[in-house]
Structures are given as C-alpha cells and as structure tokens.
Amino acid sequence: MQIAYRCKRANSSHLIAADQAFGRRDAVSPHAVMLFFTCNALTEPHGYKLYTATRTWPQSPDSDDLPRLLGDLTEVAADNIAALGRAWSPLGPQGSMVNGGDMTLPTGATYVGVGVSTLDSDRGRWYQVAASLRDGAAAGRYMSAFNLKGQCYAVMVDGTVMHIDRDPEARLGDTGIRCSKTLDPDRITYHNPYSNLTEQGDDETRLIWRRLIALNSILATHLLARRPA
C-alpha cells in the first residue's frame, strides 16, 4: 500500500510540473518512471523505509510514446549492464537512469520494483485534456489541473502488479487501487478480479504491462544479484 500511495503522490507532482510547463519550450513529457527501493528502519511503522528515484523527460515524440519509452529504457539498462557489469546502478554515477527523487540511498537499500506515472487517463491524452483545460478557462469555465486524473502502473520483484487510478473526484472510500494480490492478507478467502491484471484492458495497456515487466526483470536480475552475500 505504501507504494500505491507513493505512486499517487508522484503522479500529483508530475501533473503540477507538466501543467506549469505546458506549451513552453521546457514542456514535460506526460510519462515518468519510478524505481522503488526499501531499507530496514526499525523506527518506521512496518520496519522499513521506502525510497523512490524518478526519471522524467522533456516533451518529444519519443518520450510521448509510453511503450516505446519503456522499451528504450530497457535497452539502455541492458547496454549499461553489458558495459559496466556488476558496478552499474540505475542511480549512477555512470549511466544513471534517474534525474529526481531519492537519488542517494542508504547502505543496504534493496530494489523492490518499478512504476510508471502517466497523465493520460480515460478522460483522454494529456495534451488533449490540458489544452481543453485552457480552452475552458478562456471561455469562462474554470477548472484547475487539480481536477484532472492520472494513473500509475507498478511491477514488484515478487510478481505483484498494481494499477493506481488517481481520481480527485472519486467517491469516498474508492482508493482507485487494483492489485494482482489481495491487499487484505487477513482474509481467509478472497476472489480477486485483478489476479490477471496484466491481461486486462486494451492492446496499448497490455503492451505497457509487458514492457514494464521486461524493465523490472532486467533491473531485478541485475540489482539483486549484485547485493553482497
């Protein structure tokens, strides 16, 4: 659940940055990547602390295509591993894959998964929604960016996948979190309609899942193998 709420917070920050830079030369891509790490912390409620390193891109045709972006990032990771071997980390200093968030981790931090923040939603593509927001303001129909939706995808090293729908207008109690595993481990029996979450949705959604799973696989294989015994 911590990762789900961290995703929502990251998506909100992503939205603010993209809205403020919309239409400018430094416009922000509607897609961003998050790498999740944990480290033991006895003073924390669950005994560990979650860290999130992020990667955002400037607006461009390449960074606007999420499946392509994830595929390119996976190839970059593979190239860095081939060139630098066990010494390579996605946090750098050589071949860094991130440019924000928790870029420095405590000793003993462990990679636990990867996520995507996107400003595309069932209300439309980011550029269409952001433009209509401004058209409405010009016509006297006020709505702020804080009324806009966003969504996140996350894949964990244990195989858990989550889709997080950040909807400011959601009904009270609707978290927008869909997870392939139950979020209530105390329940004895539980039918989970999202156990095959990566096979649900349209063709593009399923392709996003496949690309994100591939990125997580190469990072997990490398980063968990390089941990000290």
Domain span holding position 177: 2-225
In the prediction, which pLDDT does 138 show? 47
- State the CB neighbour count (10 A cutoff) for residue 111: 24
CB contact at 8 A, 156 and 3: yes
In the prediction, which pLDDT does 191 show? 72
- Measure the CA–CA gap between 193 and 36, rounded to whole angstroms: 26
Identify the sign of the CA torsion 166, 194, 72, 220. positive
Q: At how many degrees (to 10) do helices 126-138 and 2-21 cross?
A: 50
Length of the chain as a residue count: 229
List of residues 6+ apart from 10 with CB closer than 8 A: 32, 34, 52, 54, 101, 115, 117, 152
CA–CA distances in Å: residue 109 to residues 95, 97, 184, 212: 19, 17, 26, 22
In the prediction, which pLDDT does 139 show? 44
How many distinct structural domains can be found in the chain?
1
Whether the predicted model's global pTM rises above the 0.85 cut: yes
In the prediction, which pLDDT does 141 show? 55
pLDDT tens over the chain, length 229 residues: 789 999 999 999 999 999 999 999 999 999 999 999 999 887 877 788 999 999 999 999 999 999 999 999 999 999 999 999 999 999 999 999 999 999 999 999 999 999 999 999 999 999 999 888 877 654 455 567 788 999 999 999 999 999 999 998 888 888 999 999 877 666 655 678 888 999 999 999 999 999 999 999 999 999 998 665 4
Strands 177-179 and 161-166, bridge-based pairing: antiparallel
